[in-house]
Structure 1
Amino acid sequence: MHFGQRAALAVLTATTLAAVLAGCSGKDPGDTSPAVRPGSGTGEFAQIDAATRGLVSQRVAWQAPGSLDVEETARIGLSIGEGRELTDKIETLLRGTQQTPVGEMRVGPSVRATLRGSSEDVEITPSESVNASTGSDVQMLFTWLIKAKQPTDDLQLTAHLEVPLSNGHVITHEVPLSIQVHRTAKFTVWQVLTNWGTWSAVVTSLIAVVGWLVRRRRREAAAEEAPEPSVSSTADAVV
């Protein structure tokens, strides 16, 4: 084989090999853009990571009474951030409540809050909310009206927070709260009246039992008072 033929064969082989390699990599041989390697910081997780860089850590605290009476309506609130306007709103809307710090959370300019609790234990009504934030100076307040339905040492409430990101994803936080609920005389009377059917059945049963005991006692007393026949009278009867 001549040298020219060998050179042409070598060029053809190299071209074919390059085409095969390009086909395996899914890339056009003429494309000079760098290849994407796994773990290079691209894709959905990278987008979330980039979006969360704009979030800021802020102080979160509950504003709620230390305890409340059953059937009493009270306002509670959850504050995010700090500032004079936020403090003024707390003093206006939540006067007389106690502050319970929760910690710090990363939030953005928009936060959605929902208060959750068992429908058997409490009624929840959304109330006023405040967003006086400017830039990284976050001042948010969410309030709700709650009405406990029954006394308990541990009424469980949970604030569900949603922080939407710029890429459409949402970060969520769960913030629990526990409140003691006291029994009142009014509630006790109401319980008795509403459960009158049960109580009347119990009273009827007790009356029946007492009546049976009284009748039994009377029969026993009558038996003890009856005279016993004498020996002489029995003998006369035999004769």
Structure 2
Amino acid sequence: MNGYGSRGSTPGQGRGFRPRGGVGRRPYPQDAQEAQAARPRKLSCPPELRDAFVEARDFLAGLIAALGLPARLGFGGVDPARDGRQITIEVRSLADAPDRPDERGPDGRQEPGDLAILIGKHGATLDALSALTNAFMHRNNSRDLFFSVDVEGYRARRVATLRSIAQRCATRVLREGIALELEPMPPSERRIIHLSLAANADLQTESIGVGSQRRIVIMPRDSAPPVEPLEDFE
């Protein structure tokens, strides 16, 4: 059983960064972890979570169908870091199936398509869909179960991309003795950057700004060099 049943692009590859005012974008090679994360997983929903999952899945399928996007929704796993109380609902293209390998890229990833609209910049639309699904599920039910929406394995690839960006920034900060300011990103993504560099005793990271403009500065520890902004990474 692959967990997919309800009908309702993959995101672009994670890009790197360039200094403000630089010439062109410098794409980085795709991380092998991203390709692995993109492959469909065959997971089954635990019986005790099945009813809640089906209700949430069907609600989300209705939203996606209203947008006119053909898709299939399935169980994407539970988050052990949240004691198994967060369920991922994974959205995939109807073409993204084992019997349709000719429609995949060489890494097994579905080629970009209409479902990319469900992701948004840095996953903002995915977060909105997750919030709507949770609001629906919590209207009459306990709030001890949460749902996260994913599209074509985007979230795992995004984590790998952010970790790669963090390490590349760290290398440059230490090599050039500068501070680098990243683009604004949501709290969940800032946390990934912070955790990726937390073990480096020569660096410190700090969040600055407010609201949607909150962003991270990576700098040498115990120093305050000029800050150089970075842009155009995803």
Task: Give the TM-score, by structure 1 length.
Answer: 0.22
- Structure (1 or 2) with the larger CA radius of gyration: 1
* Higher percent of residues as strand: 1
TM-score of the superposed pair, with normalisation by structure 2? 0.23
